[in-house]
Amino acid sequence: MLLTLSTTHQPASDLGYLLHKHPARFQSFELSFGKAHVFYPEVVTESCVACLLLEVDSVGMVRGKTAHRGFSLAQYVNDRPYAASSFMSVAIAQVFGSALGGRCEARPDLVGTSLPLAARLDVLPVRGGLQLLHRMFGPLGYEIEATQTSLDDRFPEWGDSPYYSLSICKTTTLRDLLAHLYVLIPVFDNQKHYFVGEQELEKLLAKGDGWLPDHPEREEIARRYLKFRPSLVRSALARLAEVDDSVIAEDGETDRPGEAVEALFEKPLGLNEQRIGAVLAALRATDAKRVLDLGCGEGKLLRELLPDRRFDRIVGLDVSMQVLQRAAQKLGYDRLPSQQKERIQLLHGSLMYRDDRLRDFDAALVVEVIEHLDPPRLKAFERVLFEYARPRTILLTTPNREYNGIWESLPADSFRHPDHRFEWTRAQFQDWALAIAQRYSYRVRFLPIGPEDQNVGSPTQMGVFDRDPTKA
Ligand code: SAH
């Protein structure tokens, strides 16, 4: 198991100072689970490469323990000697302890200096695939290169293994790079070799200091790092939230698979807030009092509507019971005074079926929902909303596909969210909207949401539909 660290920073010997390991020496260290060796295969003027090689003694580790545990072949035959796992994190902490702790007596000035750094892990088990690698390292600003290893080159039909060879690079401090690796290696592996207790929580918070509270995947990181121990994960999130209040508002929103992919690109633009702002502004410009939020998800919009007394009936509907439960939690529904409870209701239902409960509303909000519907079933949705529920105003948003090109790290032809069935260009959305407006006697206009690019428009597009007053 090998970790390779390299830099093109000059002089190359600075990396040796920071790692506290002399470039000319081959050094070995005894660890509780085997041996670690540090050596420098390359030290030239233009670059310096340092390796941390781990030899895990999987037999030695179980010796003497089998009597009370019983025999298990997996204790002897497993991937631990070859795959980068929490052993690697332990080795980083023990062998590169001062670098990880941000200490360098000989050259303290180097600790806070950003250097062009690269790290390579040759066999990294990743439960969650390439996408997870991007979700974790992407928000930290790394360039990522990863190749998946096949199970056996001789039998291509067996497919790929869960192992990746990963290179990441960024101009950053060595301390930060090591802290990211220390926390994230076991997160990918999702398997830790030692008991996860309070101490692990402290380590996570210490090594996550300065970056984890702002990471859009902090909840997933905490959950995986702490091996799904709910009580520890809860404490971790609460403690992360103490550092930054916004974490509370958003925690859990990354829970739906893939949402973070969206967050990764959209978050820096504050697109979510802009979308909510634009929808609320358009809604307030009407005199709607009874409002539907269709596909309400975890209730981000509902939480904004509730304090505004002009809305006297607010209904959120979603097909997922799980997100409705989260919406109720986040609204603090159980603790609402009875007057408030009467104004708001959460309904379990599908936009594919006519539903009497959706009638008699002034406005319906359909925010980032249609792209989750299968195109052949879009017709059913159109009739449910425009023909049957028929509110006076409909505010409907969806991604503008043309904008995706602006996000260079979003692979071409991929969507912002794995659950999206389509993403439309502005022309496609407008054709669709104009056709249904005509069919169901609405008027529609279009508004951009988010920063507008001259050529490709804005990241989100909104259609504002007003029912033709002569055709109720
Ligand atoms: N409007 C929310 C959530 C958008 S995600 C927001 O802006 O944050 C899309 C939501 O649509 C999900 O919560 C999903 O459960 C819901 N959804 C998908 N298909 C649906 C259907 N057929 N009927 C109702 N809701 C649906």
Q: Where are the domains of the chain?
A: 2-194, 257-467
Q: Report CA(74)–ligand 1 centroid distance (Å).
A: 43
Percent of the chain with pLDDT over 90: 50
Question: Does the beta carbon of 351 sit less than 6 angstroms from any atom of ligand 1?
Answer: yes
Q: Report CA(379)–ligand 1 centroid distance (Å).
A: 17
Question: Does the beta carbon of 410 sit less than 6 angstroms from any atom of ligand 1?
Answer: no
Check pLDDT > 80 for residue 472: no
CATH topology of domain 2-194: c-terminal autoproteolytic domain of nucleoporin nup98 (3.30.1610)
Q: Report CA(297)–ligand 1 centroid distance (Å).
A: 5
pLDDT band at residue 269 under the 50/70/90 scheme: confident
pLDDT band at residue 301 under the 50/70/90 scheme: very high
The pTM of the full predicted model, rounded to 2 decimals, is 0.52
Q: Which residue has the tokens 């409960």?
A: 357
Question: 460-467 and 393-399 as β-strands: parallel, antiparallel, unpaired?
Answer: antiparallel
The closest residue, in CA terms, to atom 15 on ligand 1 is: 320
Q: For 257-467, CATH number?
A: 3.40.50.150
Query: Quick one: tokens of 28?
Result: 């070995």
pLDDT band at residue 124 under the 50/70/90 scheme: confident
Question: Does the beta carbon of 300 sit less than 6 angstroms from any atom of ligand 1?
Answer: yes
* Cα 315 from Cα 363, distance rounded (Å): 11
> What does the pLDDT read at residue 60?
57
Q: Which of 266, 283, 318, 368 to mutate to test the pocket of ligand 1 (most atoms within 8 A of CB)?
A: 318
The closest residue, in CA terms, to atom 20 on ligand 1 is: 319
> What does the pLDDT read at residue 70?
45
Q: Give the number of the atom of ligand 1 that is nearest the alpha carbon of residue 300.
A: 8
Question: Does the beta carbon of 269 sit less than 6 angstroms from any atom of ligand 1?
Answer: no
Question: Does the beta carbon of 384 sit less than 6 angstroms from any atom of ligand 1?
Answer: no
Lowest-confidence segment of 19-23, 80-84, 435-439 by average pLDDT: 80-84
Question: Does the beta carbon of 378 sit less than 6 angstroms from any atom of ligand 1?
Answer: no
Question: Does the beta carbon of 368 sit less than 6 angstroms from any atom of ligand 1?
Answer: yes
The closest residue, in CA terms, to atom 18 on ligand 1 is: 372
Check pLDDT > 80 for residue 151: no
The closest residue, in CA terms, to atom 10 on ligand 1 is: 295
Lowest-confidence segment of 97-111, 155-169, 413-427 by average pLDDT: 155-169
Lowest-confidence segment of 57-66, 92-101, 238-247, 263-272 by average pLDDT: 238-247
Q: Give the number of the atom of ligand 1 that is nearest the alpha carbon of residue 253.
A: 8
The closest residue, in CA terms, to atom 3 on ligand 1 is: 297
Question: Does the beta carbon of 274 sit less than 6 angstroms from any atom of ligand 1?
Answer: no
Side-chain-side CA neighbours of 37 within 13 Å: the count stands at 10
| Cα dihedral 326/332/335/340 (nearest 10) | -110
Side-chain-side CA neighbours of 240 within 13 Å: the count stands at 33
347-401 pLDDT per residue, tens = 988 898 888 999 999 999 999 999 999 888 899 999 999 999 999 999 999 999 9
Contacts 24+ apart (CB under 8 A), 274-281: 274/449, 274/450, 274/460, 275/367, 275/368, 275/397, 275/449, 275/450, 275/460, 276/300, 276/301, 276/304, 278/397, 278/447, 278/449, 278/460, 278/462, 279/365, 279/367, 279/395, 279/397, 279/462, 280/304, 280/305
Question: Does the beta carbon of 319 sit less than 6 angstroms from any atom of ligand 1?
Answer: yes
239-266 pLDDT per residue, tens = 776 533 332 223 333 334 455 556 667 7
> What does the pLDDT read at residue 244?
35
Compute the mean pLDDT over every residue in the chain, rounded to the nearest whole number: 85
pLDDT band at residue 81 under the 50/70/90 scheme: low
> What does the pLDDT read at residue 65?
45
The closest residue, in CA terms, to atom 9 on ligand 1 is: 369
Question: Does the beta carbon of 325 sit less than 6 angstroms from any atom of ligand 1?
Answer: no
Question: Does the beta carbon of 295 sit less than 6 angstroms from any atom of ligand 1?
Answer: yes
Check pLDDT > 60 for residue 193: no
Q: Report CA(69)–ligand 1 centroid distance (Å).
A: 48
Do 328 and 334 touch, CB atoms closer than 8 A?
A: yes
Residue 449 neighbours by CB distance under 10 Å: 22
Query: Quick one: tokens of 96?
Result: 């590169």
Core vs surface per residue 188-219: b (16+ CB within 10 A) or e: bbbbbeeebeeebbeebbebbeebbbbbbbbb
Give the pLDDT mean for 193-215: 80
Question: Does the beta carbon of 296 sit less than 6 angstroms from any atom of ligand 1?
Answer: yes
Q: Report CA(369)–ligand 1 centroid distance (Å).
A: 5
Question: Does the beta carbon of 323 sit less than 6 angstroms from any atom of ligand 1?
Answer: yes
Check pLDDT > 60 for residue 4: yes
Core vs surface per residue 99-118: b (16+ CB within 10 A) or e: bbebebeeeeebbeeebebb
Check pLDDT > 60 for residue 61: no
> What does the pLDDT read at residue 214?
85
